[in-house]
Every structure is written in C-alpha cells, then in structure tokens.
Amino acid sequence: MKIAVAFTGPSNSGKTTVIEKIAKKMINRYKVLIVKNDPKDKARFDIEGKDSFKFFQTGAEVVVTSPTRTTYFSHRKKDIEDIIKMVDDFEIMLVEGLKTLPLPRIGVFRNSIDKSYFDYIEAAAIDKSINKDEIPKNIDILDLNNIEEIIEWIFKNAKRI
C-alpha cells in the first residue's frame, strides 16, 4: 500500500521541520519518500568544480551512484506521476508544496494564518501562537508540536496511490 499527503503554508512556517520530524519517526517502519517543490528554482545541489556539477552543466541527465546512495539530477521538469514511477519503492509520500496537487493537505502555520490556504487544506497544524477560532470548522486542527497526532491524521486521511 502506498499513501500520500501534502504540506503547505507560508515561508518559514515550519513545513520542512514538521516533515523532517515525521520522516524521522516513520523511517524505521516505513519506506518514506519526500518530494519538495522549489517554485522559485533556488535550490542548489552540487558544488562547482566537482565532477557531478561538470556533468550536469553539459545539459545531460546525471545519476551519481555510490555504495550508500543514488542521486538523480535532471534538467527536465517531472510531474508527480513521473516521480512516483521513477522512485516507486516507497510506502508513504510526504509532499512539501505543490498546492494544486490533488492530495489531502495539511496547512502549517506559526505566528499568523494566511486564509488563502483554506481552500487547499483539510487540516491545519498550528502552535499556541494561532487562535483556533480563526480556522474554519471544516478544517481539522492539529498541534504542530505533536508529531504523533499529525502522523495519526496522515494514516486516517492520506490518499492511497
């Protein structure tokens, strides 16, 4: 069985931190895949001067393999179906961003709420800085600092893929 859930929220709201904590809790029992969207194309993955950097600069698709990991660098945009086919060996997929992707979605909010996310989320993971009354009743409220509660919500609500 493969399941997927997505996380969304404003910059610096804690999305990466909560996904990291969830993955660390689940990784000993499940095969976890994390997909992160980089909408501004800011992420950098290699160091100038290294072989893999030089290979990637050619425009080729590059795979770097070692005894402990495999890294794939691509110049081509991959949609989520392509990524699922490519990785395939996972049980739980955690997606950061891609708010138009049709997955059950947890909004992550700290210090303030951006109501524009309400149309995209089924749950809100918040800390004590957020007033629960600001969140519509149809959205589940989760404690951002209670990873077990968030994981329980994931297993109840994630999409089977």
- Burial zone of 149 (CB within 10 Å; 0-12 exposed, 13-18 middle, 19+ buried): middle
Residue % of the chain over a pLDDT of 90: 61
Residue 49 CA, distance from chain mean position: 30
Domain 3-39+79-160 has CATH 3.40.50.300: yes
Indicate if the alpha-carbon torsion angle 127, 133, 134, 135 is positive or negative. Answer: positive
pTM over 0.85: yes
Tokens (6 digits) for 140: 């589940």
Give me the residue spans of the domains in the chain. Answer: 3-39+79-160
* Element at 153 (helix H, strand E): helix 147-157
In this predicted structure, the answer to whether residue 45 has a pLDDT above a threshold of 70 is no
Per-residue model confidence as pLDDT tens digits over 50-85: 878 888 888 887 888 888 888 888 888 888 888 888
Per-residue model confidence as pLDDT tens digits over 13-40: 999 999 999 999 999 999 999 998 777 7
Residue 79 has a pLDDT of: 86
Residue 27 has a pLDDT of: 94
Asked if 58 and 118 touch (Cβ cutoff 8 Å), the reply is: no
Which is more confidently placed, 150 or 59?
150
Backbone dihedral region of 12: left (phi > 0), alpha (psi from -120 to 50 degrees) or beta? left
Residues β-bridged to residue 124: 107, 141
